[in-house]
Structure 1
Amino acid sequence: MEKSQLAKEIYIASHLTGEFKLRSGKTSNEYFDKYLFESNPKLLQEIAEHLSKLIPIGTEVLAGLEKGGIPIATALSLKTGIPVVFVRKKAKEYGTCKLAEGIDIKDKVVCIVEDVVTTGGQIKLSAEDLKEYGAKVKDVLCVIDRQQSGSENLSNEGLLLLLHSLLTMTELKQSV
């Protein structure tokens, strides 16, 4: 499937209108319900196909952020053979007490995987956490960049993270 057709399919499957409060606290009159495209096996497979081409060379581990980044990272891992870890918003307080479930990330080049990026707030927090566990984090992959300062926030806050997006909000809107 061509990227333009994928954008159209994602838009049709997941674009909602109304009044929505975003994680950032901002209010939006439109929302992309990521679970509507992440739960569709055909779309998820196509997303992995296209997004896999954006994985930075040298990536050793894909880090899927709870909750929406996990299916995307899993699909990418299946497509590329790159191991995946599942990153919690905070380390669990029982059992292994891990923040990142899966293989060891210490001294590994880790690429964060997220579904939709607005301001990058959770990515920033998770990147700082992963670095505390010894990961080398400098890149982020996402399916949709809402183009609301996420990329700028990640590069300006001392993290020096580079955001690679499959689609921007502009591309999604132009697809229909």
Structure 2
Amino acid sequence: MTTTDDSLAADIDACCRLTGEFTLRSGQVSSEYFDKYLFEADPLLLGRVAREMIQLIPQDAELLGGLEMGGIPIATVVSSILGTPTLFVRKEAKAYGTCKLAEGPDFAGKRVTIIEDVITTGGAVRDATRALREAGAIVEVVVCAIDRSPAGENPLADVDLEVRAVLTKADLDAVRHAG
């Protein structure tokens, strides 16, 4: 576990792991579902996650790129603690008004650390990384609250992105099985 908050995994697991019958994005049906928005909506848990994330942010980060939707509240809290400006990164550029992919300060030529809540396959992070790089950002690291990808694998190696996680699926499973 990379966190210094010994009870964080247990508290997030207790808050977010739901049992019942759930249809997953893949179409599969599961008896378990992890509702990440439950920890993001809890100001105390969100603050604890943000404080752990701060330790993982590269020192040369010039901007934090919170991904729509789950990365935005975390990036906002981390930004307010660190004083590092935040970008709010959309899944795709809006088709009206400014037609921006990312709202906030100019990021061309800047070191942007992506902030995400949960990474499983990394699809949204991969898309955002490519789009930000195409627009001139330097993107080398993503910091996430929970990495649910298989242990020992970097799902974003294909886009040369380092994944730094506060917690992993194994951390959450370990507290589930310990309790």
Give 1:65's aligned residue.
67
Pair 1:105-2:92 in alignment:
no
The Cα shift of 1:31 comes to 2.2
Pair 1:171-2:177 in alignment:
no
**Cα distance in structure 2, aligned partners of 1:102 and 1:151:** 32
**Cα distance in structure 1, aligned partners of 2:124 and 2:79:** 22
**Cα distance in structure 1, aligned partners of 2:173 and 2:103:** 36
The Cα shift of 1:17 comes to 2.3
**Cα distance in structure 2, aligned partners of 1:88 and 1:143:** 19
Give 1:54's aligned residue.
56
**Cα distance in structure 2, aligned partners of 1:68 and 1:39:** 10
Q: TM-score, normalised by structure 1?
A: 0.91
- Structure-2 change in CA distance of 1:58 and 1:2 (3 Å): closer
The Cα shift of 1:20 comes to 3.7
Mean CA deviation greater in 126-135 or 13-22? 13-22
Matches within 5 A, 1:109-120: 109-120=111-122
Q: TM-score, normalised by structure 2?
A: 0.90
Mean CA deviation greater in 136-145 or 13-22? 13-22
The Cα shift of 1:26 comes to 6.4
- Please, which runs of 5 or more residues in structure 2 have no aligned partner? none
Alignment RMSD (CA, Å): 1.9
Q: Deviations over 1:53-89 (max 9, x none)?
A: 0101201100000000000110110111110000001
Matches within 5 A, 1:1-176: 3-23=5-25, 25=26, 27=28, 28-148=30-150, 151-155=153-157, 157=158, 159-175=159-175, 176=179
Number of corresponding residues = 173
- Please, which runs of 5 or more residues in structure 1 have no aligned partner? none
**Cα distance in structure 2, aligned partners of 1:46 and 1:113:** 15
- Aligned partner of residue 152 in structure 1, secondary structure: coil
Q: Deviations over 1:76-112 (max 9, x none)?
A: 1011111000000110111111000001110000011
| Runs of 4+ with >3 A deviation | 18-23, 26-29, 148-151
**Cα distance in structure 2, aligned partners of 1:147 and 1:26:** 18
**Cα distance in structure 1, aligned partners of 2:63 and 2:15:** 29
**Cα distance in structure 2, aligned partners of 1:168 and 1:13:** 16
